[in-house]
Amino acid sequence: MMASSYNAKEEDGHITVSGPGGGTLKNKKPDNTAFKQQRLPAWQPILTAGTVLPAFFVIGLIFIPIGIGLYVTSNNIKEFESNVFMYYGLSNFYQNHRRYVKSRDDSQLNGDIDSLMNPSKECEPYARNENKPIAPCGAIANSMFNDTLELFYIDPNGTKTQIPLMKTGIAWWTDKHVKFRNPGGNPNLTAAFQGTTKPINWRKAVYELDTDSQNNGFTNEDFIVWMRTAALPTFRKLYRIIQKNNNVVPTLPRGNYSLEVVYNYPVRSFEGRKRLILSTISWMGGKNPFLGIAYITVGSVCFFLGIVLFIIHHKYGNRSNSADIPN
């Protein structure tokens, strides 16, 4: 019988075992290094009154002026001057619902032929209708806003003059030229979408959204604006732009106006409301006081907490430091 011997030696977390058969076995213990054994130098802040109180006051003193500036800027946005932006607004419409947000096929919207004829399962139950693929598929496209809004200026003599509304230039450039493309690059959209059917709630096919070939099909800007889902249940989306003609005459002169709405979009089913907003924009966008109010609120809360903690520290801090410690 042949005798055997084993030698084990631990070096940097590895155990080497040798025997008659040769070979080396290593255990799974991490290397004995500063990184793997978590011995790297670290810094842990010690929160004291001397560090916390100034932080609260500094945040308050910075955020409150910023909030006031944002709020004043938002409120100073004038209506009916410069270029005027026309928005439609919806309330109680939850575009941020998880299943609703996922109900789309981005490959189809980007012009992929295979996805056009075979929509993603994420689009169910709005992927097919009468054994034909829906283009565009999904719940977002199916619920697209389709009211028609027209604005008229009423002259003092009672004559109605229609205000020209621009329907292009309302979508993001990246959406218009990168994310949304018509299938195959075919200028004949009727042929490009042959074999598909319109969404269930639509009144017309996707290739009939506009007579302008550059603003039709998946590249229609009303459609693109709608497909960028809103984060809150009450939201507005850009509908049209009223361009400023010159620097002398206001874009929308003072007077009476008439809004004519072709009512196609029902809101009673989700207890919602529709509205029209006319507004200019500033360096911070459209009129929206939320950001300014948020800054003012955070700054005020921090400043208030700083005062409260300062009073508590002043009243009880010295007492704790001077308390007798028993032997």
Are the CB atoms for 241 and 225 separated by under 8 Å?
no
Return all residues near 106 (Cβ < 8 A) that are at least 6 apart. Answer: 179
| pLDDT tens by residue, 97-146 | 999 999 999 999 999 999 999 999 999 999 999 999 999 999 999 999 99
| pLDDT tens by residue, 211-255 | 998 999 999 999 999 999 999 999 999 999 998 877 657 788 888
Nearest alpha-carbon partner for 81 in 251, 264, 199, 288: 251
Dist. CA 140–CA 102, nearest whole Å: 9
The residues with which 149 forms a beta bridge, in sequence order, are 261
SS3 of 29, please?
A: coil
Could you give the dihedral angle defined by the CA atoms of residues 285, 291, 292 and 296, in that order, rounded to the nearest 10 degrees? -170
Dist. CA 247–CA 187, nearest whole Å: 39
The residues with which 261 forms a beta bridge, in sequence order, are 149
Question: Strands, DSSP E only, in the chain?
Answer: 7-11, 14-18, 84-91, 128-129, 132-133, 148-154, 160-162, 235-242, 256-262, 273-279
Dist. CA 101–CA 98, nearest whole Å: 5
State whether the Cα torsion 57-288-232-115 is positive or negative.
negative
Question: Whole-model pTM?
Answer: 0.66
pLDDT at site 77: 59
pLDDT at site 4: 44
SS3 of 62, please?
A: helix
How confident is the prediction along the chain (327 residues), in pLDDT tens digits per residue? 444 444 444 444 455 555 555 555 567 788 888 888 888 888 887 888 888 888 888 988 999 998 888 888 777 655 447 788 999 999 999 999 999 999 999 999 999 999 999 999 999 999 999 999 999 999 999 999 999 999 999 998 989 999 999 999 999 999 999 999 999 877 899 999 999 999 999 999 999 999 998 999 999 999 999 999 999 999 999 999 998 877 657 788 888 999 999 999 999 999 999 999 988 766 555 666 778 888 899 999 998 999 998 888 888 776 655 554 555
Are the CB atoms for 279 and 287 separated by under 8 Å?
yes
